[in-house]
Amino acid sequence: MKVFIFCYKFLITMNFEDARNNMVLNQLRANRISNASLIEKIELFPREDLYPDNYKHLSYSYRIIHLDDGRFVLPPLTSFHLAQALNLTYDDAILEIGSGFGTTTSILNHFSQNIDCIETSKKMIESFNSSIKLGLFSAKLLKTDIESFFMNKSPNIKKYQKILINGSLDAEPFQIINKADDNAQIVCIVDNAEFKHKIIKYQKVNGNCNRFIIDEASSSFIFKYQKKEPFIF
> What is the fold of 2-223?
Rossmann fold (3.40.50)
Return phi, psi of residue 62, to 5°: -85, 5
Radius of gyration, alpha carbons of the chain: 18
Q: Is the Cβ–Cβ distance between 62 and 34 less than 8 Å? A: no
* Domain chopping of the chain, boundaries: 2-223
CA 166 to chain centre: 4
Beta strand 115-118 pairing with 94-97:
parallel
Instruction: Answer yes or no: is pLDDT of 84 > 50.
Output: yes
Separation of alpha carbons 209 and 72, rounded Å: 29
Give tens-digit pLDDT for 111-120.
999 999 999 9
In the three-class reduction of DSSP (H, G, I as helix; E, B as strand; rest coil), residue 147 is classed as helix
Cβ contact 48:103 at 8 Å = no
Name the least confident of 19-28, 57-66, 163-172, 206-215. 19-28
Q: How confident is the model at residue 154 (pLDDT cuts 50, 70, 90)?
A: low
Mean pLDDT computed over 192-218: 94
Q: What is the pLDDT of residue 45?
A: 92
Quick check: 128 and 116 in contact, CB under 8 A? no
229 pLDDT more than 70: no
Strand 221-223, strand 162-169: pairing: parallel
Where does the pLDDT of residue 176 fall: very low under 50, low under 70, confident under 90, or very high at 90 and above? very high
- Tell me which amino acid residue 65 is: I
Angle at 164 between CA 162 and CA 170, to 5 degrees: 130
What pLDDT shows up at residue 24? 87
pLDDT confidence band for 69 (50 / 70 / 90): very high
Note the pLDDT of residue 228.
Answer: 54
Mean pLDDT on 177-206: 95
In angstroms, the CA 203 to CA 220 distance is 24
- Model pLDDT, residue 64: 96
Between strands 72-73 and 140-141, the pairing is unpaired
Phi-psi region of 59 (alpha: psi -120 to 50; beta: other; left: phi over 0): alpha
